[in-house]
Amino acid sequence: MHLLRTAAPALSEPRADIDHASAKGVVKTLVTNRLSSIVREVPPSLRSHYEAKGWWTRETLGEILADGLKKHPDMGFHVHSAVRPYEGTFADVELVARSSPQLKARGIGPGDVIAMQLPNWMEAAATFWASALLGAVTVPIVHFYGPKELGFILEDSGPQVFITAAQFGRMTYTPETSSHVPIVGVVGHDFDVLLADEPLHGVVEVDAAAPALIAYTSGTTRNPKGVIHTHQTLICETRQLMSNYEPDRGRQLTALPVGHFIGMLGAVLFPVLDAIPADMCDEWNPTRVISLMDSDGVAIGGGPPYFVTSLLDHPDFRPDHLRFFGPIGLGGSTVPASVPRRLDDLGLVVTRSYGSTEHPSVTGSATTAPKDKRLLTDGCPRPGVEIRLTEDGEIVSRGPDLCLGYTDESLTARAFDDEGWYRTGDVGTLDDDGYLTITDRMSDLIIRAGENIGAAAVEDTLLTMEPIAEAIVVAAPDPRLGERVAAVLRLKDGHSMPTLDEVKDHFATAGVARQKWPEQLHRVDDFPRTASGKVQKNRIRKLVADSAPRHAPETTHA
């Protein structure tokens, strides 16, 4: 594959005292067996039901991708980037992806792990396509994760291959982070040395029930959680999402990062299956997006509310730009009721949906649903999905697009029961028509512009600052981003409140991803507690929501 370079001398200069072919075979077997052994058992009755309904088939990602590429080789592939623009066709990118016999020759195939931390560039598509054609397990990593998160993910997933960029925005590749990965490819550096003379033909066979992707997401744990999806769950999810789209929808701009697997599917798989050009951008710049509407006629299909409202609020936005909005699907972040109402007033058809990395498509509304359902609820269960509420209102779900568990088996044991039900950690209500509305969150999760941020990891970093005795992190409402990170601090005696800039500098030094940095600080003399001394986070969230200004980040004394 032409975007790879060797990172370990042993790959190009074998030592006489080591049988590297055997060693790599042992590593591959260990990785394959580990993934296969830790996925949860799906109840046989559910598996049979999903197969009988056609939600689970014997197709693999590589097979459906190869079929789509064969049918539409001349379809356009466009990367709108100030750093690494690209103009080509599906066939051009496929040739890059299929120049991977070098990987196959090195023993990379079914069950092996290929990790990538790339912006929305052509090379991201080529990497995902190559992984799918080889039957490997893809690990997409968001490009703004810092060294701390990246190091954990590479250690946890154990990839044989890691593809990254030399630099993009605040991300800079440091070889030390991936020194244990056998093959490393750095886009923008020396990645062209492994270009194969003959492309890979066909698709490598793999079991459709086998792991195909590990997606890392923040949550209640201090480190990212590795969520395991199979070919069957991903293909089901792909078809679930594509069923929402209007026919002949034209060119659609994808800005969700390919490091999120939903962004990856939307950017580089949906267009192939939908027979439309691929259009993606590597940063969300409303000025640039509006310009692309005028020059290329690209449309916007929704996403986190910020993607839509930032365009509507931009001084370059004109009423005639509304023609570039099809039905708007809002999800992936908190949806304030004012946003869908505003879009509806502009004459746009709006729907809402609810899901997560673990269970991507739990509920959603059809464009034909009654207006109040579309605007004010999170929809009803998707085909094949079942939901119910526990006594305390927590949503539990199961369905054919639900993941097969976590790389951490203890997390799987806590989140899933023997009947296949998944505890979402979210609280909601169901109306008489079966429409769900999310009302609260049981887990300490902040969703900022579609990004999941676990409170525990932020709290741990805050507690390494000398003045801070105790730190509680919760979500603060934000009209643009949905939520932002608010830190409520109790200080040690004799210490002054740190400034927001001091906190940001501390997080930067700690190598924590920027979206996790606190954007709002509050000081308390003590926290509201239960009789047992436990901090009552529900009261902290209310305190922050009631007292925090809704515009600029700042420090307050609550």
Give the C-alpha distances (Å, rounded to integers) separating 315 from 282, 285, 286: 22, 13, 10
pLDDT at 551 over 60: no
pLDDT band for position 497 (cuts 50, 70, 90): very high
Would you say residue 123 has pLDDT above 80?
A: yes
Q: Which residues contact 29 (CB under 8 A, 6 or more apart)?
A: none
Say if 272 falls within a structural domain: no
> Phi, psi (5° rounding) for residue 188?
90, 10
Beta-ladder partners of 48: none
Q: What is the pLDDT of residue 20?
A: 39
Element (H, E) at 253: strand 252-254
Interacting residues of 229 by C-beta distance below 8 A, sequence separation 6+: 211, 212, 213, 214, 215, 237, 261, 403, 404
Residue 507 lies in a domain: yes
Q: What is the pLDDT of residues 247-286, one digit of tens each?
A: 778 899 999 899 998 999 999 999 999 999 999 999 989 9
**What average pLDDT does this structure show over 114-120?**
96
Closest residue by Cα to residue 231 from 56, 40, 33, 416: 56
Q: Can you list the positions of beta strands (E) in 81-218?
A: 86-89, 113-117, 137-140, 161-165, 167-168, 171-172, 183-187, 211-217
d(CA 253, CA 286): 12
Confidence band of 296 (pLDDT split at 50, 70, 90): very high
Q: What is the pTM of this model?
A: 0.80
Give the pLDDT confidence score for residue 8 in this predicted structure: 37
Left if phi > 0, otherwise alpha if psi is -120 to 50, otherwise beta: which for 435? beta
Residues 169, 36 share a domain: yes
Q: How many CB atoms lie within 10 A of CB 498?
A: 23
Q: In this structure, is residue 268 part of a structural domain? A: no
68 Cβ contact partners less than 8 Å away, ≥ 6 residues apart? 272, 273, 275
The CATH number of the domain where 41 resides is what?
3.40.50.12780
User: Strands of 468-478's sheet, edge to edge?
Assistant: 468-478, 482-491, 520-523, 555-557
* Model confidence at 55: pLDDT above 50: yes
Evaluate whether residue 273 is within a structural domain. Answer: no
Please give the full DSSP string across 348-403, using - where no structure is assigned: --EEEEE--SSSS-SEE--TTS-HHHHHHS--EEPTT-EEEE-TT-EEEEE-TT--
Tell me, yes or no, whether 394 lies in a domain.
yes
142-157 pLDDT, tens digit per residue, is 988 888 899 999 999 9
Domain match, 412 and 455 both? no
Q: Which two tokens stand for residue 212?
A: 């195909």
The confidence score (pLDDT) of residue 217 equals 87
Angle at 507 between CA 502 and CA 510, to 5 degrees: 125
| φ, ψ (nearest 5 deg) of residue 238 | -60, -45
* pLDDT value for 280: 96
User: Residue 95's CB: how many other CB atoms inside 10 A?
Assistant: 15
Q: What is the mean pLDDT of the chain?
A: 86
- Of 424, 441, 458, the residue at which a domain comes to its end is 441
Q: What is the pLDDT of residues 220-238, one digit of tens each?
A: 567 889 999 999 999 999 9
Q: How far apart are CA 125 and CA 119, in angstroms?
A: 10
Quote the domain boundaries for residue 198: 5-242
Structurally, how many domains does the chain consist of?
A: 3
**408 φ, ψ to 5°?**
-95, 110
Amino acid at 123: E
For the chain, the maximum distance between any two Cα atoms, rounded to a whole number of angstroms, is: 73
Residues 419 and 462 in one domain: no
CB atoms within 10 A of CB 250: 13
223 and 197 inside one domain: yes
Residues 464 and 404 in one domain: no
237 and 354 co-located in one domain: no
Alpha-carbon distances, residue 529 vs 265, 485, 533, 534, 557 (angstroms): 44, 21, 5, 5, 18
Q: Which amino acid is at 22?
A: S
E strand or H helix that includes residue 555: strand 555-557
> Which residue is listed with tokens 């509920």?
363
Report phi then psi at 203, rounded to 5.
Answer: -130, 135
Please give the residue that has the higher pLDDT: either 439 or 242: 242
Following DSSP, what letter does each residue of 414-449 receive, concatenated?
A: HHB-TTS-EEEEEEEEE-TTS-EEEEEESS-EEEET
Same domain for 419 and 539, yes or no, is no
- Tell me, yes or no, whether 73 and 16 share the same domain: yes
Judged against a pLDDT cut of 50, whether residue 164 lies above it is answered with: yes
Does residue 468 fall inside a structural domain?
A: yes
427 and 553 share one domain: no
**Number of residues that make up the chain:** 558
User: 275: which 2 tokens?
Assistant: 């027979």
pLDDT, residue 436, reads 96
